[in-house]
Structure 1
Amino acid sequence: MTPTSGQEDQPIVSFESIQAAANLIKGAVLETPCLPAPRLSQLTGADVFVKYENMQVTGAFKERGALVKLSSLSQDEKRRGVIAVSAGNHAQGVAYHAGRLGIPATIVMPVLTPFVKISATRGYGAEVVLAGNTLAEAKEEADRLATEKNLVWVHPYDDAHVIHGQGTIAIEMLDALPDLDVIIVPVGGGGLIAGIATAAKALKPAVEVIGVETTLYPGMWGAFYGKEVVCEGATIAEGIAVRDIGVLTTEVVKRTVDDVVLVSESSIERSINAYLTLQRTIAEGAGAAGLAALLSDRERFEGRKVGLVLCGGNIDPRLLSKIVVRELARDGKLVSIRIDTPDRPGTLGEIATVIGDMQGNVVDVEHHRLFLNVPAKGATLDVSFEAFDRDHGERIVAALRERGFVVRYLEIGERMG
């Protein structure tokens, strides 16, 4: 649940307004690079270019729309101050530019918001209020504060000024790459894709604009195709985990966007890892959704010139490290095995020697003797080792079995119990 957009009082979403927004934010918001990504092209079969919105001061595109909205306020509204509900990028975008403009900002965040995001938002000068366990509960407190203090709402997506700000991305992309065939855009509430599609179609009607949602939160997909959907679940792409998409954004999307597609959680994980390991850049789950669409339907985009909007890079470092480990395991480069062995001196050394002689690298060992499901005269070893690739790992396991060890594969993280 989110604050209403006040549609009836808003300007029409138009390319002319997006052009004006581009002039307004010039010098205050970074014009991020849109660069070729040869290794992603090799991975996907498309000719890939990436728009690096993760390079903004706050790490995400939200600054654009926030600044345009804040700049549209009257002097009285600026004096009274603004309020927003957010657990992430919108909070930081509003806080940062409100601070620059001298506008008091109150951001209501759920109490379970990661401390790093709370700290960053406070660091930009906003007053942070923690309330409720969900955004809906936080919104109730924000409603109360907005009424009590006569504050102005800054909606994260369902606001024409915000949409105009986000649409400036398309102007920059097509200025740098006028021959793009496709622009792929992550979709949460719809503000980003509504702005991008409006500008892109005005500049180049033939360009295809495709939205991407996670399968757990297919709100815009459902609206686009007239399907009943359920939006729920824990997703790695929390930035686009929106239950209530915008009214204004949906209207714009239906008339300007060519398609909305859904991607799996595993494809988003793979894309985060690809950005890190191939592009040496950080993408949060929402930011990686566009690449996930390429990986999920390679045939559709093969040979086409595709622009990806890497809309944000604010990901918890611990989560990022976990994803990297999981992707190593999926690729067969990190192997976890369980070995039943006799409990005698030298066995562990023998196992390590076999792995080492075959150029494997042992990274973790757990030795179990005392559990009741281990024979009294036996032991069990859980071993994780690095391999060059899946085939290399399988050869190491085969060598262990040839030495008489009983070996089975484990999922990463599986342990004796």
Structure 2
Amino acid sequence: MSLPTRQRLSEVRYEIRGELARRARELEAQGRSLIKLNIGNPGAFGFRAPEHLQQAIAGRIAQTDPYTHQQGLPEAREAIAAHHAARGTPGASADRVFIGNGVSELIDISLRALLNPGDEVLLPSPDYPLWSAATILNDGRPVYYQCLPENGFLPDPDEIEQLVSSRTRAIVLINPNNPTGANYPPELVARIVAIAERHGLLLMADEIYDHILYDGAIFQPLAPLAGDVPCVSFGGLSKVHRACGWRVGWAVLSGHRDKMRDYSAAMDLLGALRLCANVPGQFAIDAALNGQDTISPLCSPGGRLYETRRALIESCAASPHLQLVAPQGALYGFPAVVGPAAHAFDDHAFALELLESEDVLIVPGSSFNVPYRNHFRVTLLPQPDAMREVFARVDRVLSRRAAIAA
């Protein structure tokens, strides 16, 4: 008889690395060559962490053997605090910075510090599914506010406020957004802050893509608008600095210190229980935040991310089967299947057919906790020509489906 496992795991989904990814590994073992667009993993597409970050670690490697403080290296926390102070985070200081093994670990710790059984967290739909999973596994309940494609994947603050209940503890924003690429304007962020203030809620801002922006889009950090409202802002090296494998993320607490005192102590306790975060990568934080800007050229015309995004936009515009809200930030596109090809459409079945027949791995849109099943996510990390080839294959599958529907 198989060993029993935690029951709540049955409620958790993470298709980004799930069944389809396992099938992809089986096909690769058979000798198939796949184009895998399921994970925003820059190093897998030939990107490297900037040289000055690599050198910052190499020059301090002899100092990386001991544990550090559970909140992280003091000099790294000072650099993060200064970075946040420069962009307007109130009361930014090193004692309010927590460094973790990527933002993923910090999301889990931050929710574990907050939630009691049955507490609710307001999450965007679509969301990055780790947020839903971490809420569930910390005995909370995800409650979704809709970010609809017809509204540019931006949320409706009125809907958010209607979802607030006596059990609501936090509002999560993912900005710029994964999977849609939406970028939230200041007036929208300010309205969400006002909701949190009226109802005494914690704001949680997943801002890991904060400098990955296109076509003049401007990022609005949450903490400066939140002021005294309790807020946790997440960032890291994985995306902007293309260093996913280093597992370096941070959470910055802001808001009135008296309101955040117990929460900060809970974060510190949970950080101490896991001893400390990866030490070598922390030596790159100061260089990342104060060194050369290496992401803007990639996001500007002629830059690789910009041109692959262009290929995505043009491919969807040329297809009779696809619609796209052009991503304004982050590393993803979230196209919709429309027309006859969308008849009785199932995004998981489509993703499996695309993998089996065309050697392309994508993520079904429903994996991101949306109520519809006609979207899918791709990453913008491949070369532009590879993206155009991917959508030629997507169109072949959708044309077959449209012909059957007709």
Asked if these proteins are the same fold (TM beyond 0.5), I'd say: no
- What TM-score results when the alignment is normalised by the length of structure 1? 0.30
Say which structure is richer in strand. Answer: 1
Q: Which has the larger radius of gyration?
A: 1
- What TM-score results when the alignment is normalised by the length of structure 2? 0.31
- Between the two structures, name the one with larger relative contact order (CA 8 Å, sep ≥ 6): 2
